[in-house]
Amino acid sequence: MMTTGKPLLVALAGEVVRPAPVWLMRQAGRYLPEYRALRAREPDFLRFCLTPKLATEVTLQPIRRFGLDGAILFSDILVPPFALGHGVRFVEGEGPVLERVTSRAQVEALDLSRARGVWAPVMETVRRLRGALPPGVTLIGFAGAPFTVAAYMVEGGGSRDFAEARRMAFAEPGLFGALVARLEEATIDYLSAQVEAGAEALMLFDSWAGVLSPAQFRRWVIEPTARIAAALRARFPAVPLIGFPRGAGPMLGDYAEGTGAQAVGLDTALPAAWAARILPAGVTGQGNLDPMALVAGGAALAEEVATLMRAVAGRPWVVNLGHGIVPQTPPEHVAELVALVRAAS
């Protein structure tokens, strides 16, 4: 039982905290009217992310409304490739559109020295947030994991199965591996800069890990994440890393054992009780409420929260969703969720 310290950091250190700390992926975003009002002022999404005044305000909005235990930096996983000089833009109604990586020359053109200047406003946002957050709230920095970011770059945008990225990983592993290695280096640098600016915990989103076979999952998800985690741990031993390999399925245990992440996020499809059994001792679980239960609210949400808390009794756990909040979520249901978690013993 936690007695002192920030609840989220205590839980990420491997201690059982009750009431469990709670924060939500995409907790700042389109479901909040105050967010939509700000976005109307700056329709260019990347420019919005790289404007510290706006990004700081958006990050703080759900903290003011709901009193969550964690504030995750408002940004996007495609900021690093954009900063590296790769073509990235966001199209309304379509999502991200990227220059497709097809050659070694494109990989070699990714410029880390340029990136540091481009993502400097993100670090200014982190500094502002660290000074503005309430004392008990943990500031979470994040990045996309190398496989997921590489998949977008090879595919040229979003996809249901990232078939071209998977084809390249099999047919041209040298080229795909060079891209992943360059992104590893950039990710370590990007996350390190966030810690130096004030981030207290980090999260690595591997949102498309689930499209890979087990052998490919080990090569392109577990191994790069392990190298990133080791580099960050050597530089910042007190800063925990949360890994989120969405769609990992039965590979979740291998990911937890093999990466060295202090916490592992579960998607909605995984049984929390099973994960509580197979996660190594000392590794904190995070997740995995269905975002649609949050949309529904009421008795359905209460039952989901009660079921989750029973399943993870005795384990260090952070309450979160199995994926991000969807735009149709009523804000009052988020307040309801926080109250339910805080009322749980």
Catalytic residues: 26, 30, 39, 76, 152
The token duo for 285 is 């679980």
Nearest to 148 by CA among 174, 133, 126, 169: 169
* CA gap 334, 178 in Å, rounded: 42
Please write down the HEC assignment for all residues of the chain: CCCCCCHHHHHHCCCCCCCCCECCCCCCCCCCHHHHHHHCCCCCHHHHHCCHHHHHHHHHHHHHHHCCCEEECCCCCCHHHHHCCCCEEEECCCEEEECCCCCHHHHHCCCHHHHHHHCHHHHHHHHHHHHHCCCCCEEEEEEECHHHHHHHHHHCECCCCCHHHHHHHHHCHHHHHHHHHHHHHHHHHHHHHHHHHCCCEEEEEECCHHHCCHHHHHHHHHHHHHHHHHHHHHHCCCCCEEEEECCCHHHHHHHHHHHCCCEEECCCCCCHHHHHHHCCCCCEEEEEECHHHHHHCHHHHHHHHHHHHHHCCCCCEEEEECCCCCCCCCHHHHHHHHHHHHHCC
157 - beta bridge partners?
Answer: 97
